[in-house]
Amino acid sequence: MAQEFKNPDEEVVLGDEIDHVRLITLNRPRQLNVISSKVVTLLAEYLEKWEKDDNAKMVIIKGGGRAFSAGGDLKMFYDGRKSKDSCLEVVYRMYWLCYHIHTYMKPQVALVHGISMGGGASLMVPTKFSVVTEKTVFATPEASIGFHTDCGFSYMLSHLPGYLGEYLALTGARLNGKELVVAGLATHFVPSEMLPELEKRLISLNSGDKNAMRSAIEEFSINVQIEEESVLSKQSIINECFSKDSVEEIIKSIEAEASKEGNAWIGAVLKGLKRSSPTGLKITLRSIREGRKQTLAECLKKEFRLTINTLRMTISGDVYEGIRALTIDKDNAPKWDPSSLDKVDSDKVDLVFQPFEQGMEELQIPGKEECRWDGKYENSVWKMVDEPN
């Protein structure tokens, strides 16, 4: 008999215990399973409890409805803008949760059907097995609204082959399920109609045997390849453009490529970059570049600092303007300040990366424990050319 733990106020997260299997269901489908303070708290509580439970052998994470997780609750941040420390606790908890998922001692399977964006995708990519479908949509669009690529993605994206990480972080480009497997951000592609049967099969294993789990998933999965129209087939252009040292140089390189025959696809990329927050783009590029040489713990500590300084409007209020334009007024006409890349002061960008002033606590997580995210791209079918040293 499954034992279900219920929140009496709102069942935003369901936790089931089925013999040796533990099942987490994100249960806010009408809100696209957005990550709220309550969701973070419940996820952390379940994972911490089950990691200590000798009877728990496998954890399955899935989204209720047609979304896996659409990321952080932007309205929560917007409503808390006048009290800039009001979101401190939930941000702290979220980064701890990200670290915990990366370093979890028991095998996890993410069944990802639907939207998986931003912070929500941090529940997918680090798991031992991440199963996606033809309905899965992934993106990290934070830079476009004046924020930065967070929740461990300055680590995960920077460790992708070539300069795919910079491309995804700066453009917020969407990848479908097959592309996620090809790029190495997911492990298996399973047609959506087979996902319920896969879930039953995994539960029937009633163990944490990774080989048995892999074999079960492979029974339902299909092989994928790069499709001609996929952006992943443009690997040499991505490397050429997004390897540049600055956002300005990246845009200049994209403009040069866009003028060449057969490169019409890159026009949309250029348009999106020019529409994004100049401050968000510069902070994001620097964070990804630093992530190439940082550990997971170092990336999360840096991202926590960037998040708090951004919410405190240390150098710009673009994040609130971006949220306003996207989700509050929905006019899609943000007024960035500064309004262009050349007006973004490099010295001011340095400020958001600096340690907090005395009395403000940095993110405290272990720095020496080995990250258990094994760099899925290393076994992917896609290899970028001209990879950086």
150 is an active site residue: yes
Q: Can you say how many angstroms the Cα of residue 366 is from the centroid of all Cα atoms in its chain?
A: 21
For residues 240 and 248, give the distance between their C-alpha atoms in angstroms, rounded to a whole number.
14
Q: Distance between the two ends of the chain, CA-based, in angstroms?
A: 53
**Nearest to residue 116, comparing CAs of 92, 134, 137, 88?**
137
Radius of gyration from C-alpha coordinates of the chain: 20
For residues 105 and 275, give the distance between their C-alpha atoms in angstroms, rounded to a whole number.
42
Region of residue 181 (left: phi > 0; alpha: psi -120 to 50; beta: else): alpha
Lateral strand order in the sheet of 137-139: 67-69, 115-117, 137-139, 175-176
* Exposure on the CB side of residue 242, measured as CA atoms within 13 A: 32
Among 17, 73, 142, 179, the active-site one is 142
For residues 87 and 115, give the distance between their C-alpha atoms in angstroms, rounded to a whole number.
24
Among 63, 64, 71, 72, the active-site one is 72
**Nearest to residue 32, comparing CAs of 113, 146, 148?**
113
Among 17, 73, 150, 257, the active-site one is 150
119 is an active site residue: yes
Amino acid, res. 349: V
Among 119, 172, 208, 317, the active-site one is 119
For residues 321 and 81, give the distance between their C-alpha atoms in angstroms, rounded to a whole number.
11
72 is an active site residue: yes
Beta bridge partners of 112: 132
* C-beta separation of 157 from 188 below 8 A: no
Q: What is the dihedral of CA 45, 51, 56, 58, to 10 degrees?
A: 100
318 is an active site residue: no
Amino acid, res. 8: P
Amino acid, res. 228: E
Annotated active-site positions, please? 72, 119, 142, 150
